[in-house]
Structure 1
């Protein structure tokens, strides 16, 4: 039978043409669907050896799509390419991989280390994790990180030169040393190696020198055995262990429970070497985060996400300079790190200057997210230290002052912003001119704008809507939890429908849809907790008005929603 030939192929519907020898087989050709191929594991030893290398990737994707862990193991263990990439963070239409499939992949990678048919050198799992808890049997970032660390340590134990083999070599060296000592004693007593007298080989006064020479030879042999690529038992395998035969790239999610395990795995010098593309840490002090960063490869780390860690100004001043050795770092996200500059504490102004200096050392930074750091009046100090303009700036819950917005609207960042998030910053009449100027500067580049929970009334939003309407590249607009009336919401929808590029509008529920008792200008927290009216007629009437506004503008491609949970931003979509 000739090798399988590709007739028509994509990852969901793939057909193979098998050419048969007319003299021995009654059929000219056989068509087989990929999902049937990967589902019949019992026949894989027969056909897998004839599969061309270019078909391994579609077969593996079909095995993941149809949840065939046995087929995944067979394919990965004899992977014919140097690189295997399965992340696909931005691939549309791909469901998250099943937990069993991921575990089968990792086990097969370890088995493939001893398989001569396996050519794998780089395993890219970036983006493989699933953070949507509603997807059953998927593997989240924390679970995937722990599984990867366990796999790295397992590969080190199984590899030649691992702890078990090293113990066997040490035992062998001890037996050889003991035999050498016995030979020396026998020669000093005038005996041969067989215990008989050997006067001819015994010289007077030379026994001690000879024994010292043998000991020196034994010590030199031990040193040679420990050197990579030399001696008995180490050799090429030890060289592979020291150099790392397969580089594993992944997005790591570390918290206080897994920090020690991840640290050990990153320090391990086995056949699998763990590398990080995006690092997310939670509830870890600044010195432990710095210790993890010291173990990462300088080239390759693209993003750092620090959450719920009580760092404060001093911790951030300690942490940020440790990021300077990472030339590719383009994303820095700091969420709820217990930093509040509204309180006057001794030494915090100097620490803030150190923070700014640390940010200035990140030459490739494109995305900066500072959530709930409470930095009123200090935005100029932080952003003016950056060496290049930002493309993504997220500043929710930052207690921004009018001076901060005035600086931002005139800064070099304004004209390069693709994503701007000012959610939960109280905006009033004094902030409107700066915000209008900022939107005018960013009108050609801005694709995502979030002003949720900013206290925008009908009057304030009406002053901003002309500037919003001129943002010709805008694709997503979020204005939830603002105190707007039905008329204000309808005005917002009509302006949004006039932006041709806009695909998503997250609008607030109108004040008329809430039960009585709200203050005239409620806060975002009050709007979030206050119950809506039970009568569905009020909300249905509002939905009809919104649908009518869309129909009048001819926009069937614009999604209108007030669902905060389903339409939150993806934390990595702009990285």
Structure 2
């Protein structure tokens, strides 16, 4: 340890206490509150399981941010803490000293531990970290259910030792424990394991849901009732939902899913990647939205002109801050449809992604006037569309009027490619120079990125390693 940053007296006191673990445990009832965090850290890193078990039963704070100490889930440490909670929960009344209401297993709370260890010279502003005032006139309190917070990332064939142990422990104490998860991400896991985890959770605690594995529409319908119970969800992200050909039975599956959207009264961000089942049925989804959306992302799928009409007619998209339609082919659409959509959100739109939409010159020219009125726009990305140099110049002149625009990603001009679609790098370099001259003429400092499609270096349709034209 650096001589300039010697350990605080509290840390020395905690380390000294651990030399006689038995005496320390017996004196927890009278130990100053300030000693609890450094003593807990010393016991945690020293693997003093009996001390950890006893300290949980006398914890003088409303929350124990255990996840802030764990670089990765550690089963034996968790066992010691849960053993202490088991003793605590077995008591009919709360001990006078213990104020614990929340066990937080998320990777949060570092500020709390840093403050008490002296690593940071600041006071903790989180009110739930402050010690709860002791009521000396009462020695007993009714024992309320304990909340256990965890971020769940279900990505393996099995639950893993840490999560398996925790789920079993919660299952055995379901009446006195609330398993709370604000961020739920499902990547890959057997359905029976997913159901088991969901059955143990307080679903109304979930605020963000991400399903990043390919499901059938029938599978989505199976989990729809669970989604409906997550009534406080604010962000919902669904990855590809497989539908080979829309059949009569699929209408029922879609109805089972969309009917649960009606229950999500706080939904603000809706992201759907490759939702093939929405083609011709987008209205069925939109009319179930209960609140205005902040962000809407429908990507890599087919939509009809009727779907687009329903989109701009939907009252809950009028205040969008983010709109992503990348991968939705618009080539044969009437350009007025996109124009009307942008007019609806022009006052609030901050991010617009129209990558790989097959947008052509005439369509872009139609939306340029309304695009120049999106006064809040900060991000504009249109990679993968085939646009001429002349239209791109007009695009730069229109977007120059947007003061907040800070990220602009455009396709390489159509003239950069041969008739067979092969990129001519020399031509692109020359066009870069022309675009730079246009920017200089406009006189407004800005950076733009020109992304060839596919990228000659990595082959991706959208590449993120290109250098800007400044």
Tell me whether the two structures share a fold, i.e. TM-score over 0.5: yes
**Contact 1:371-1:397 at 8 Å conserved across structures:** yes
Call closer, same or farther: CA 1:448–1:39 in 2, change over 3 Å. farther
Q: Secondary structure at the match of 1:498?
A: coil
1:155 maps to which residue? Answer: 78
- Offset of residue 394 of structure 1: 0.5
Alpha-carbon distance in structure 1 between the residues aligned to 2:384 and 2:315: 30
2:436 aligned residue = 547
Counterpart among 439, 445, 456 of residue 348 in structure 2: 445
Kept in 1: contact 2:211–2:237 (CA 8 A): yes
2:63–2:101 CA contact under 8 A, matched in 1: no
Aligned to 1:379: 282
In the TM superposition, what are the counterparts of 1:415-454 in structure 2 within 5 Å? 415-454=318-357
The CA distance in 2 between the partners of 1:516 and 1:77, in whole Å, is 75
Distance in 2 between the 1:106 and 1:120 partners?
A: 24
Q: State the distance in 1 between where 2:66 and 2:204 align.
A: 15
User: Equivalent residue for 1:330?
Assistant: 234
Counterpart secondary structure, 2:258? helix
Cα offset, 1:106, TM superposition: 12
Q: Deviations over 1:149-203 (max 9, x none)?
A: x34x63224654699xx9xxxxxxxxxxxxxxxxxxxxxxxxxxxxxxxxxxxxx
Q: After superposition, what is the alpha-carbon deviation per residue over 1:480-503, rounded to whole angstroms, capped at 9, x for unaligned?
A: 000112223222222222211211
Supply the distance in 2 between the matched residues of 1:567 and 1:120 (Cα, whole angstroms): 46
| Unmatched segments (≥5 aa) in structure 2 | 15-33, 107-149, 453-461
Question: Which residue matches 1:392?
Answer: 295
Distance in 2, matches of 1:365 and 1:384, equals 13
Q: Are positions 1:44 and 2:7 aligned together?
A: yes
Counterpart for residue 363 of structure 1: 265
Where 2:7 maps in the other structure, the secondary structure is helix
Task: Tell me what 2:166 maps to.
Answer: 265
Match of 1:228 in 2: 90
SS of structure 2 residue aligned to 1:259: coil
Contact kept, 8 Å, 1:446 with 1:471, in 2: the verdict is: yes
| Pair 287,41 (structure 1): closer, same or farther in 2 beyond 3 Å | farther
2:103 aligned with 1:246: yes
The structure having more radius of gyration, on CA atoms, is 1
Q: So what's the TM-score if we normalise by structure 2?
A: 0.69
Q: Which residue does the alignment assign to 2:131?
A: none
Q: Does the aligned pair in 2 maintain the 1:392–1:417 contact within 8 Å?
A: yes
Q: Secondary structure at the match of 1:438?
A: helix
Shift of 1:551: 2.5
Task: Report if aligned partners of 1:370, 1:395 keep a CA contact under 8 Å in 2.
Answer: yes
CA contact (8 A) 1:496 1:505 kept: no
Shift of 1:352: 1.0
Q: Trace 1:491-510 onto structure 2 (pairs within 5 A).
A: 491-510=394-413
Alignment partners' CA distance in 1, 2:411 and 2:243: 30
Structure 1 residues 335 and 567, CA, compared in 2 at 3 Å: closer, same or farther?
Answer: farther
Shift, 1:415, TM fit: 1.1
- Partner SS for 1:268: helix
Closer, same or farther: CA 124–456 of 1 in aligned 2, 3 Å: farther
Aligned residues between the structures: 383
Pair 1:78–1:427, CA change in 2 (3 A): same
Aligned partner (choices 375, 399, 418) of residue 472 of structure 1: 375
Do the aligned partners of 2:52 and 2:84 also contact (CA within 8 Å) in 1? no
Aligned to 2:196: 291
Aligned equivalents of 1:383 and 1:370: distance in 2? 13
TM-score for the superposition, normalised by structure 1: 0.58
Report the Cα distance in structure 1 between the residues aligned to 2:45 and 2:441, rounded to whole angstroms: 53
Structure 2: how far apart are the matches of 1:330 and 1:81? 38
Structure 2 matches for 1:53-72, cutoff 5 A? none
Q: State the match for 1:566 in structure 2.
A: 464
1:549 deviates by 2.3
**1:118 Cα deviation after fit:** 7.9
How far apart are residue 321 of structure 1 and its match? 1.8
Which digits, 9 at most, give the CA deviation of each residue in 1:28-77, with x for residues without a partner? Answer: xxxxxxxxxx75599426574699xxxxxxxxxxxxxxxxxxxxxxxx99
Match of 1:339 in 2: 243
Task: Give the SS at the match of 2:405.
Answer: coil
Residue by residue, what CA displacement relative to the aligned partner does 1:508-562 show, whole Å, maximum 9, x if unpaired? 11233335522xxxxxxxxxxx6x3343xx3332222222222233322444353
Displacement of 1:276 in angstroms is 2.2
Partners of 1:120 and 1:162 lie apart in 2 by: 14
Q: How far 1:327 moved relative to its partner?
A: 3.0
Q: Aligned pair in 2 of structure 1 residues 41, 411: CA closer, same or farther (>3 Å)?
A: same
